[in-house]
A and B are shown apart, each in its own frame.
Chain A
Amino acid sequence: MPPDFTDCYAASFAPIAGQLAVYLGSVEEAQEVTQEAFTRAWTRWSRIARYDDPSAWVRRVAWNLATSRIRRVRTALRHRQAQRPEPVAGPGPERVAIETALAALPPNQRRAVVLHYLVGLPVAEIADLCRAREGAVRTWLYRARLTLAHHLTDEVTDDA
């Protein structure tokens, strides 16, 4: 096993899977998709290893796989089912609010929001990854922000 593959796997698996879990609403599915992306990377590793950032290739494939998966299943439903209370570090009202709001967003908007605000990709890169026009990505982000702002505002007015 080439050490650079092992290093890439060790460094990138959790970040990619974590971001996908926010998108998919399921840690288990995010892990499956990430593992599948690394499996595909392995079969082409001699080529991918020469890229400036091999993990970017893995992330792109993982996101595409996740999106294909979303198209096949109604993830929004599972999102809601997965929202069982968890005994981990006190989720604040903001987090619960955004989890609910994310689940309700159309997949295109949810993907754009996670890639932009969590992964930190600029609009042009999101458009490239999603094979969409930059204008479409801006529209997704704009609409998603309106929806999310509404949810966040609702939830935090009690505290304010």
Chain B
Amino acid sequence: MPEPDDRLDDRLRTALRSLDDTARRRIRPPGADTVPPAARRRRGTLLAAGAAVALVIAGGATAGWRFARPVPAGAPPCATAEGAVFLPVDGPDADLRARVGTILNDSPAVQSAYFETRDEAWERFKRQFTDAPDLVAATKPSSLPESWRFVVRCAVDYSSVEAQLNAVPGVQVVREPSAPVRSGRGG
């Protein structure tokens, strides 16, 4: 037998509020102070895609600082994955930069890579945040890390490249967020 609309609506609201209450008891906000660093990381990793595109357009450039290798003939098509290797902010550290560059250059899974200096990072940061002058004013160029931006030709190979890079002490490897959030293995 159909119910009066109002009664059903009330029951729906009550049941949904109950679900909401249960969910809220389990919510643990990470805190407002975690937002600015997350915004910087997000912006930084988003830049990787643009850098990779610029790199491909520019073609081969100075060896060691940027490179792009052609896709092997007959290679099956696959989705790429992009990442960034952030060097410590207390750098610059030429040895560390070269060490990461060598790993990327030696890995056949890596299609292209590009090194972003602190000055380049700062210029890009200012451009990206023209609508957030407070953020720019609160940030110093010295707080932006140098980074290698790289593209793995097939996303399935990303985790092995990442593992090699993570073996280098002091660097932070971040995957570009537009790629699948969870790799499904390893965690």
Q: Do A and B come from one complex?
A: yes
Q: Chain A interface (Cβ within 8 Å of chain B)?
A: 1-2, 5-6, 9-10, 13-15, 17-19, 21-22, 27, 30-31, 34-35, 38-40, 42-47, 86, 88-89, 91-92, 94-95, 97-99, 102, 113-114, 117-118, 145, 148-149, 152-153
How many angstroms from the CA of A101 to the CA of B13 in the assembled complex? Answer: 14
Q: Count CB-based A-B contacts (< 8 Å).
A: 127
Q: Check: B33 CB closer than 8 A to any chain A CB.
A: yes
Partner of B38, one of A39, A45, A47: A39
Q: Check: B27 CB closer than 8 A to any chain A CB.
A: yes
Say whether B132 contacts A44, CB under 8 Å: yes
- Contacts A10-B29, A42-B36, A86-B22 aside, 13 further interface pairs with beta carbons under 8 A come to A9-B31, A21-B20, A21-B24, A30-B27, A31-B30, A35-B35, A39-B38, A43-B132, A44-B132, A45-B134, A45-B135, A149-B8, A152-B15
A9-B35, A46-B133 known; A94 vs B26 contact (CB < 8 Å): no
Q: Which residues of B131-147 have CB atoms within 8 Å of chain A's CB atoms?
A: 131-135
Say whether A31 contacts B28, CB under 8 Å: yes
How many angstroms from the CA of A99 to the CA of B20 in the assembled complex? Answer: 11
Contact with A along B20-63 (1 / 0, CB 8 A): 11111111111111111011001100000000000000000000
Q: Check: B12 CB closer than 8 A to any chain A CB.
A: yes
Main SS at interface, chain B: helix
Main SS at interface, chain A: helix
A97-B15, A149-B8 known; A31 vs B29 contact (CB < 8 Å): yes
> Looking at chain B, what size class is its interface with the partner chain?
35 or more
Q: Chain B interface (Cβ within 8 Å of chain A)?
A: 2-3, 8-9, 11-36, 38-39, 42-43, 129, 131-135
Say whether B32 contacts A43, CB under 8 Å: no
A9-B35, A46-B131 known; A27 vs B16 contact (CB < 8 Å): no
Which B residues lie within 8 Å of A42 (CB)?
35-36, 39, 132, 135
25 residue pairs from A and B, CB less than 8 Å apart: A9-B29, A9-B35, A10-B32, A13-B27, A14-B24, A14-B27, A15-B24, A17-B23, A17-B29, A18-B24, A18-B27, A30-B27, A35-B35, A38-B35, A39-B35, A39-B42, A42-B36, A43-B43, A45-B132, A113-B16, A118-B13, A118-B17, A148-B8, A149-B2, A152-B11
Say whether A117 contacts B12, CB under 8 Å: yes
How many angstroms from the CA of A108 to the CA of B21 in the assembled complex? Answer: 23
